[in-house]
Structure 1
Amino acid sequence: MQTPEELINNAPEERKDALIKLRKTIQDNIPKGFEECISYGMIGYVVPHSLYPDGYHCDPKLPLPFVSFASQKNFIAFYHMGMYADPELLNWFVNEYQQVSKTKLDMGKSCVRFKKPDQIPFELIGQLVTKITPEDWIKTYEKNYKSKLK
């Protein structure tokens, strides 16, 4: 299994500085309790089994995913499951992004794609990751996902 450092070192040269800065931004701002790991081949931040023994419903052996990022073929991808699960948080991010970026937001359900490393709004991502604690994420996850599985 690769380490976060190895994933960054294997990224294209022109993305390495942005990936290092993105990782540091997340580490400096994410609430205590989340743990960094490799998740689905990406650098991820998860709710560990020590806080949420049930794990991820798709594979309970895995910890509950929250945030991840990676260098993909044509862009840097940033995933935030909280935006997918919480429309109010998503609206906040979309509105704030428009205030701080000159580029059009390229976003899927939980994935924000940055085609150019210099377009990443690091300060905004730092603010975003502060907004949900592991306990908040567990509650939101159970309300939105676990209840639908029963």
Structure 2
Amino acid sequence: MTAGLTPAALIDELCSALAPARAEALRAAYDLVRRVIPAGYEEGVSGRMVTWSVPLARYPKTYNKQPLMAVALAATKGHNALHLPLLYMSAEADAAFRSAYADAGRKLDMGKGCVRFVTPEGLDEAAVTTAVGGTAVDDFIAAYEAARRGAESPSA
């Protein structure tokens, strides 16, 4: 049951049901995002995910009337997932992220904007730091607006 949970409490709940390596990886990802995400994003809980979003007070023009989610962290049945919507809104950001993994010699298990990992080594800290930490709220909003228009988003 996640109703009313804080993000930290949700992470504790999710980790309690995971194998030790997956729990360690989930906690490491949570700590990393919290450490590098720029000011202006709001940490919260949405369903069974910890999210970092643009508050509605800052940007109310979302397609679903919900805060604009920039990053989300979840534990699924078979893996942990770090959702990075910017990567599917910006071809440049996506290419840089994939290149950082390749340059680090790490195997990237990724969908369009969702990085799957089961161990701490499954996430490349430098790539995540650049993608998350290098995206100020205004840049994320600009990328979102460009994606909604069908235009290539500005570099983030």
- The interval holding the TM-score normalised by the smaller chain is 0.7 to 0.9
User: For 1:21, which of 24, 28, 50 is the aligned residue?
Assistant: 28
Q: Cα offset for 1:80?
A: 0.5
Q: TM-score, normalised by structure 2?
A: 0.83
Amino acid at match of 1:20: R
Q: Cα offset for 1:53?
A: 1.9
Q: TM-score, normalised by structure 1?
A: 0.86
User: For 1:124, which of 123, 127, 137 is the aligned residue?
Assistant: 127
Mapping 1:43-122, distance limit 5 Å? 43-54=50-61, 56-57=62-63, 59-60=64-65, 62-103=66-107, 105-122=108-125
The answer on whether the counterparts of 2:54 and 2:68 sit within 8 Å (CA) in structure 1 is: yes
Match of 1:41 in 2: 48
Amino acid at match of 1:74: G
Taking the aligned partners of 2:106 and 2:72, their CA distance within structure 1 comes to 24
Taking the aligned partners of 1:142 and 1:40, their CA distance within structure 2 comes to 25
Bigger drift between 82-91 and 3-12 goes to 3-12
Aligned length: 143
Q: Pairwise CA RMSD of aligned residues?
A: 1.6
Q: Cα offset for 1:13?
A: 4.3
Q: Where do 5+ consecutive residues of structure 2 fail to align?
A: 151-156
